[in-house]
Amino acid sequence: MALSLSRPVHRLDPLSPDLHEDASRMREHGPIVPVELPGGVAMWAVTRDEPGRNLLKDAERFTKNPRHWAALNRGEIPQDWPLLSLAAPAGRSLNIVDGPEHRLLRRPLAQALTARRVQALEPVISALADRLLGELEQAAQKAPDGVVDFRSLVAWPLPMGVIGSLLGVEEADHPELGRLYSDLFDDTRKDSRDAEGRLHAWLDSLVAQRERDPGNDLTSALLALPPGERLERDDLVVTLYVVLAAGHETTAHLLLNATRALSSRPEQVELLRSGQVPWERAVEETMRWDSPTANFLTRFATEDVDGADVHPDADGVHIAEGDPVLVSYIAMGRDPDRYGPTAGEFDVRRTETNSSFGYGAHFCIGAPLARLEARVVLSRVFGRWPGLTVVGDVPRSPTMLVNSHTRLDVRLR
């Protein structure tokens, strides 16, 4: 029977105990399959690497702009659907437009977020990592069983500190920012539009502050662009919002997932510590094997598309104009067509590239920063505690969009 959006082959559940198990089931059904999201919302999911990359680079037929979402336009998506602010954010921003409008919004950010600015953050990242790891050690010494939560003490505050410094946010304000983001990424909450609105207001006041008192940060650099290249005030606020949203949680998940993977593979830690394999490989292998972005919202078909036009293996799939497509990076990362029969195994000696920072026009603008943060943190953590182990259960965060856990209890020695 032909695959159809009205007959989903899989239901994605934010409370699923194992997103990889879900991903593997979706992949078995085919490279592009109909799935159901919470609230009964149907979408296509792309589950294999090459079809995924083909789709991501075809921004003309698969746009990020939610005004093409037929079900939304027909009023079939409830306004209180918890994922609405992520699938169809309000306003316009670089991550939900395509073509000339996308280039207009992305260029200033690309100009301000230079390789030099990222490189200049290395001492900030190193100092912050040293401080947080020192605090982790102290907490472990005080804990009767020596067990500490790596997530709350390192993986969460580190990227918030880094992105906060990047944007020029005062350190005292980082926790409040973190709380607003937790609200936004919890698929079980009902008030995601509200969290979005509060964040916009908060960032608007940051822009006003940097206007009065410019610093050596990204916000000030965006404000200082020459008139023809500068973003309008509203676009600037939304751009900062996207940078924070895209750059904080994802990097926290990368740190968490990499620490978890390495903690049970001492022989691979040894390859890294001895320099036989560079730390960058541990970062890339985590991105592939345990992608921080799991099932990512969303593309919309601008015309009817036959699956075979995306990839020969998707023959028989008919995507109608206005259908939404989510990109299952978590499924693509373990695609045996691309990574062979050992796709399910974590191995820092692998050398293939992966697609977990996206592909095409929307390729992650913060990839160099995320890679730098992860390399600095992982080399320090396992340089200091090669025998770090994870203790007990690792509970999942209540979302199937990102691949993360609410805590990671570790013993350092």
Q: What are the CA-CA distances from residue 175 to residues 18, 157, 180, 182, 208 (Å)?
A: 29, 8, 9, 10, 20
Is there binding between residue 364 and ligand HEM (CB under 6 A)? yes
Task: Closer to ligand HEM by CB, 70 or 364: give it.
Answer: 364
Task: Closer to ligand HEM by CB, 34 or 292: give it.
Answer: 292
Stretch that binds ligand HEM, among 145-153, 292-300, 308-316, 343-351 (CB under 6 A): 292-300
Q: At closest approach, how far in Å is the CB of 80 from ligand HEM?
A: 24
Task: Closer to ligand HEM by CB, 37 or 370: give it.
Answer: 370
Find the residue with minimal CB distance to ligand HEM.
Answer: 366
For residue 94, the tally of other CB atoms under 10 A from its CB is: 27
Is there binding between residue 330 and ligand HEM (CB under 6 A)? no
Query: Judged by CB under 6 A, which of 242, 301, 332, 348 binds ligand HEM?
Result: 242
* Residue 125, H or E segment: helix 122-142
What torsion, rounded to 10 degrees, do the Cα atoms 314, 318, 321, 323 define? -70
- Phi/psi at 132 (nearest 5 deg)? -65, -40
Integer-rounded Cα radius of gyration of the chain: 21
| Contacts with ligand HEM, 365-394, as mask; x by CB under 6 A | xx--xx------------------------
Stretch that binds ligand HEM, among 20-28, 225-233, 272-280, 359-367 (CB under 6 A): 359-367
Q: Is 280 exposed, middle or buried (0-12, 13-18, 19+ CB in 10 A)?
A: middle
Work out the widest C-alpha separation in the chain, in whole angstroms. 63
Stretch that binds ligand HEM, among 27-35, 180-188, 245-253, 308-316 (CB under 6 A): 245-253
CA neighbor of 319 nearest in space, from 41, 70, 64 = 70
Stretch that binds ligand HEM, among 13-21, 340-348, 354-362, 380-388 (CB under 6 A): 354-362
Task: Closer to ligand HEM by CB, 151 or 412: give it.
Answer: 151
Is there binding between residue 357 and ligand HEM (CB under 6 A)? yes
| Contacts with ligand HEM, 35-54, as mask; x by CB under 6 A | --------------------
Which parts of 296-315 interact with ligand HEM (CB under 6 A)?
296
Q: Is 351 exposed, middle or buried (0-12, 13-18, 19+ CB in 10 A)?
A: exposed
Is there binding between residue 397 and ligand HEM (CB under 6 A)? no
- Phi/psi at 63 (nearest 5 deg)? -90, 160
Is there binding between residue 55 and ligand HEM (CB under 6 A)? no
Which parts of 247-266 interact with ligand HEM (CB under 6 A)?
247, 250-251, 254
CB 400 within 8 A of CB 145: no
Q: At closest approach, how far in Å is the CB of 239 from ligand HEM?
A: 7
CB 86 within 8 A of CB 401: yes
Which parts of 58-117 interact with ligand HEM (CB under 6 A)?
94-95, 106
**What is the C-alpha to C-alpha distance for residues 377 and 408, in angstroms, rounded to an integer?**
15
Q: What are the CA-CA distances from residue 371 to residues 364, 376, 406 (Å)?
A: 11, 9, 22
Residues of the shown chain interacting with ligand HEM in the complex, contacts defined by CB under 6 A: 56, 94-95, 106, 242-243, 246-247, 250-251, 254, 292-293, 296, 356-358, 362, 364-366, 369-370
